[in-house]
Amino acid sequence: MRRSTLLWSVLAFAVVIGLFVVKHRVQTLEDSLHALNAEIIADRDAIQVMQAEWSYLNQPARLEALSKRWLGMDVPVSAQTVSMQELLDQSAPEQTGKTGLTEIAARKNPTPKPTLPQRPARTPAPPASDNNDWLKPILAKLKKSQ
Amino acid sequence: MIGKRQAPPEKIRIEGDRKTAIETGRNRLMVAGALFTAAFTVIGIRVVDVSVFSDNSEPHYTRSIAKDEKHTGRADIVDRNGILMATSLNTASLFANPRLVLDPEQAAIRLATALAGINVKAIEKKLRSDRGFVWLKRHLTPRQQYAVNHLGIPALNFQREARRMYPLGSLASHALGFTDIDNKGLSGIERYFDKELRTRQDNMALSIDVRVQHMLEHELGAAMKKFSAIGAAGLVMDVDTGEVIAMSSLPSFDPNQPGAIPQDLRFNRTTLGVYEMGSTFKIFTTAMALDAGTVSLRGGYDATNPIRIARFTIRDFHAKKRWLSVPEIFMYSSNIGAVKMALDVGISGHRGFLTKIGMMKPVGIELSETGAPLAPNRWREINSMTISFGHGLAVSPLHLVAGVSAIVNGGIYRTPTLIRRNPAETPAGKRVVTAETSAKMRRLMRLVVKNGTGRKAAAPGYIVGGKTGTAEKVSGRGYKKKALISSFVAAFPMHKPRYVILAMLDEAKGTKETSGYATGGWVAAPVVGAVVRRIAPVLGLRPIKETDAVHDTLAIEISGKSAREPRVASH
């Protein structure tokens, strides 16, 4: 009788302690979640503000004025745009050296990829991935010289 | 249990009143015990139920934010390349509970130190009012918020509010529209998609390209200033998808200051304004005649004498006073020739054709500001005659651009849209002219820029073709001689059109440079040329050498000896 009473009271006490600890932990976690949520909201607001600012700073009119003033850029004329084929047709006889030849060989494959036109300053530079082949020997050369 | 408890009486015997008292006490104890047992049983069952059977019963006082959850109410609007055009930013708005303000006068004076430019008297009046809530200032900057907090005035508080911002300023303001202070869309896309923007989770992508938009606005603005025009309108449209790449109505406004926008600046000239377009309508007249087969490219009409009907006389601006072939009629913009072409097709045919290319009802674009065309109630011969050269039927510039797109793209009319379309999901559209007619019209339009009235629209390498238009503005019952609507509508590159572009100036005045002319060929065509030269590289078009193949596609036989004449009309 006494033994069982003792057992039960110990068990009850343990459960009470356990419950208290768990409850306390949950509360701490919820507190930190709450803080994190507030932080996320603040960060999202900040990102939103920065995106708006980015867009504001990239106003085409502003970029145009800046690139005119600092980079000397101007409205492109059609004469500034030359396709790779035209360039090769013109420069092929003067080409000497190994890299030049490989370049021409690479360019003269049966389906030459259309090259992107030269663009004004505000557009990103045309992706170079298309023309990586001919860049390789040059890059290799650079590596060697280093 | 009772039996066990009853055993002790063997030792102690209690009789009489005392026994009764004990019995009563025992019974009461039993009842109380039973009640407690019942209560604890119920609690026990509930404990098991709560902790075992129903999960999530623990009340959460916070929850984690989902990854894709939006934090502001209104969806962002971006351009076709994802550049932010409209967004919602959270700001603090200051409000007060006037009942709790101790000294309104002092509070107002101190607030003025933190918030520059507020009306102290008005604030004081607000703080004296007998209400529980008054707005003092909406959308404070973080610095202002800090300053107000620093004052430490009781009864002031902040409310987090989303504020609509347009980081690109006045760019594309008429297409975008704006919202009021409570984020309710009042015009443009903001109004048309008001409900959707409130609930939408992702960004709304427009068909507008802000780079093209800027170039168009810039060139139009420059021309407007140069020719002292009261307004200008411009459009760039993709002929194959019907997407509007740029839409500009000048003067424009800054949607960031919704309260400060004058009513007249809100007017969208490209969609809401309807104008008699003048000679640009000859595109439709000629296309209709060629499509109906009433005349061929080799045919022509006598344009020697002006046409007199009722009290009107229809004459040519630069009269040749001879027989003109169809290409010549188009190239010199002969009104007489156009009238005869339309009359040959007939009144009902003319009306039917214009209905087919959407000139009789508002354009179904995603804007609330769409103007209904002003068409004659009863279509008589005289109406057909004037409409053949663009008078007597007022349409919006968007009508014209959509119609011209259909004429040059192979003959398919597609409703213009401001929403970016997936190229795979381009609507089928409806055929309005045959592919052959479309090819012929492309040649004719190229001819106008090459040898005709639109030579100032030339952009080397991009093979522009178009048509000039000049119309006197309607005023009351007559026309104002000096007030012109000068326009130029073009497509490029002409051997395989990708874009249609329109420039229109409202009441442009001629300058010395233009010898006093304010006609479409002088004031609007150069704008188109300049815009094409600038936007073509951005739109990914390469300049094309006018090779024989291109030349052959666009070659046209101009019968009649005047084709080699060096002097060219500029109307």
- B390-431 per-position pLDDT tens digit: 988 999 999 999 999 999 999 999 999 999 988 888 888 899
Of all helices (H) and strands (E), which one includes residue B437?
Answer: helix B435-450
CB B448 within 8 A of CB B467: yes
Which residue among B61, B83, B542 places its CB closest to the CB of A55? B83
CB count, 10 Å around CB of B118?
Answer: 15
Residues paired with B235 in a beta bridge: B247, B502
What integer is the mean pLDDT of B252-259?
88
What integer is the mean pLDDT of B192-196?
92
pLDDT of residue B216: 95
pLDDT of residue B100: 84
What integer is the mean pLDDT of B36-54?
89
> Which of B141, B145, B168, B532 should one mutate to test binding to chain A, selecting the residue with the greatest count of A CBs within 10 A?
B168
pLDDT of residue A131: 52
Which chain A residue lies closest to B160 (C-alpha atoms)? Answer: A45
At B38, the pLDDT band (50, 70, 90 cuts) reads very high
pLDDT of residue A101: 46
Please tell me whether the overall predicted TM-score, pTM, comes out greater than 0.90 for this model: no
Q: Which residues of chain A have pLDDT under 70?
A: 92-139, 141-146
Cross-chain residue pair A120–B538, CB shorter than 8 Å: yes
pLDDT of residue B85: 93
Cross-chain residue pair B167–A40, CB shorter than 8 Å: no
Neighboring chain A residues of B176 at a CB cutoff of 8 Å? none
What integer is the mean pLDDT of B314-319?
81
What integer is the mean pLDDT of B146-159?
86
At B11, the pLDDT band (50, 70, 90 cuts) reads low
What is the per-residue pLDDT across B53-103, written as a single tens digit (0 to 9) for each? 766 555 666 666 666 665 557 889 999 999 999 998 888 888 888 888 888
Neighboring chain B residues of A58 at a CB cutoff of 8 Å? 83
- CA–CA separation, B221 and B434 (whole Å): 37
Cross-chain residue pair B71–A75, CB shorter than 8 Å: no
Phi-psi region of A33 (alpha: psi -120 to 50; beta: other; left: phi over 0): alpha
Cite the active site residues of B.
Answer: 279
The residue among B167, B205, B183, B200 whose CA lies nearest residue B93 is: B183
Which residue among B71, B213, B541 places its CB closest to the CB of A41? B71
Neighboring chain B residues of A116 at a CB cutoff of 8 Å? 540
What integer is the mean pLDDT of B226-235?
93
Phi-psi region of A75 (alpha: psi -120 to 50; beta: other; left: phi over 0): beta
> Residue B564 above 50 pLDDT?
no
Which residue among A41, A49, A55 places its CB closest to the CB of B168? A55
pLDDT of residue A110: 46
What integer is the mean pLDDT of B229-242?
94
At B110, the pLDDT band (50, 70, 90 cuts) reads confident
Which residue among A61, A78, A117 places its CB closest to the CB of B214? A61
What integer is the mean pLDDT of B361-383?
90
Neighboring chain B residues of A51 at a CB cutoff of 8 Å? 84, 87
Neighboring chain B residues of A118 at a CB cutoff of 8 Å? 537
Cross-chain residue pair B89–A45, CB shorter than 8 Å: yes
Cross-chain residue pair B63–A33, CB shorter than 8 Å: yes
Pairing relation of β-strands B275-276 and B312-314? unpaired
- CA–CA separation, B523 and A79 (whole Å): 26
Phi-psi region of B487 (alpha: psi -120 to 50; beta: other; left: phi over 0): beta
Cross-chain residue pair B462–A78, CB shorter than 8 Å: yes
Residue with tokens 């790779």: A84
Pairing relation of β-strands B275-276 and B394-395? antiparallel
> Which of A48, A63, A119 should one mutate to test binding to chain B, selecting the residue with the greatest count of B CBs within 10 A?
A48
> Residue B562 above 50 pLDDT?
no
pLDDT of residue B7: 57
Name every residue whose Cβ is closer than 8 Å to that of residue B366 and which is 6 or more positions away in sequence.
Answer: B189, B192, B193, B417, B418, B419
Looking at the complex, report in whole angstroms how far the Cα of residue A141 sits from the nearest Cα belonging to chain B.
33
Domain B213-564 has CATH 3.40.710.10: yes
What φ, ψ does residue A126 adopt, rounded to 5°?
Answer: -60, 140
Cross-chain residue pair A52–B218, CB shorter than 8 Å: no
Q: Where are the domains of chain B?
A: 96-125+136-152, 213-564
What φ, ψ does residue A7 adopt, rounded to 5°?
Answer: -55, -50
pLDDT of residue B303: 86
Which residue among B71, B89, B211 places its CB closest to the CB of A60? B211
pLDDT of residue B563: 41
- DSSP-assigned letter for residue B231: E
Cross-chain residue pair A118–B543, CB shorter than 8 Å: no
Cross-chain residue pair A60–B210, CB shorter than 8 Å: yes
What integer is the mean pLDDT of B330-356?
91
Cross-chain residue pair A33–B167, CB shorter than 8 Å: no
Which residue among B165, B538, B541 places its CB closest to the CB of A52? B165
Which chain B residue lies closest to A31 (C-alpha atoms)? Answer: B62
Count CB pairs under 8 A between chains A and B: 102
> Which of B62, B464, B531 should one mutate to test binding to chain A, selecting the residue with the greatest count of A CBs within 10 A?
B62
pLDDT of residue B420: 92
Handedness of CA B462, B467, B472, B477 (dihedral sign): negative
What integer is the mean pLDDT of B532-557?
79
Neighboring chain B residues of A77 at a CB cutoff of 8 Å? 460, 533
pLDDT of residue A141: 67
What is the per-residue pLDDT across B275-294, written as a single tens digit (0 to 9) for each? 999 899 999 999 999 999 99
Cross-chain residue pair B171–A60, CB shorter than 8 Å: yes
> Residue B511 above 70 pLDDT?
yes
- CA–CA separation, B518 and B91 (whole Å): 49
- CA–CA separation, B93 and B463 (whole Å): 55
Tell me the one-letter amino acid at B305.
N
> Which of B90, B170, B546 should one mutate to test binding to chain A, selecting the residue with the greatest count of A CBs within 10 A?
B90
Cross-chain residue pair B171–A61, CB shorter than 8 Å: yes
Which chain B residue lies closest to A35 (C-alpha atoms)? Answer: B62
pLDDT of residue A114: 46
Average pLDDT, chain B: 86
Which residue among B60, B169, B459 places its CB closest to the CB of A59? B169
Cross-chain residue pair A123–B168, CB shorter than 8 Å: no
Neighboring chain B residues of A54 at a CB cutoff of 8 Å? 84, 167
> Residue B311 above 90 pLDDT?
no
> Which of B88, B211, B218, B248 should one mutate to test binding to chain A, selecting the residue with the greatest count of A CBs within 10 A?
B211
Name every residue whose Cβ is closer than 8 Å to that of residue A117 and which is 6 or more positions away in sequence.
Answer: A81, B537, B540, B541, B542, B543
> Residue B148 above 60 pLDDT?
yes
